[in-house]
Chain A
């Protein structure tokens, strides 16, 4: 079964710092890729997604992610974080033609004002 790996489960950084969260998956076929975010006390919401085309995907709130097929990676980035970016971030993979999402274990990000 495919798996999704997210490293550095807990990330603490100061406002204006840059953020990069790694996501690697183990599936050889075509995949759809997602990043979801869960703000404190709120439910999961989609941050950005990749299906095809430009491997650099822009999402909401200044986030972007880059799909590197050769590395089976879909890393999330934000150049300058804000306190309001404190949240848990989940990477998810859906193999093409399969409706099941496989999630990573998440990254808990805390931004210190």
Chain B
């Protein structure tokens, strides 16, 4: 497809379980971001991947959160031992390679609910 896709669109899990969220970026977009959108809190930066450089993990809220990007393409965000406060919409965004304008294209998000 032409846009950023994310899966699953919705995920309900029990407290303490691990979850994996997937982002399929737009082909050719080398920069990939993960954000968390909580009710009334706007978007919170989590992690940023750019090409083969080490990722910027400075936004990850705890060591239960991790992310990887395989082959410069698909990215997976993993949350271990989920807590109720992890409930949010997790968004993935890409930047077009070579763009001088840094416009981020967002995916539809994964709505995570931790019971």
Contacts and interface: CB of A to CB of B under 8 A. Distances in A.
A19 interface: no
A56 interface: no
A90 B40 contact: no
Given A43-B107, A43-B108, A43-B109, A103 B43 contact: yes
Interface in A38-69: 42-46, 49, 51
Interface of B: 31, 33, 35, 40-45, 48, 50, 56, 59, 91, 93, 95, 100-104, 106-109
Given A43-B108, A90-B42, A100-B45, 17 more contacts: A4-B42, A9-B40, A43-B106, A44-B91, A44-B106, A46-B103, A51-B100, A94-B102, A99-B48, A99-B95, A99-B102, A100-B56, A101-B104, A103-B35, A104-B42, A105-B42, A106-B40
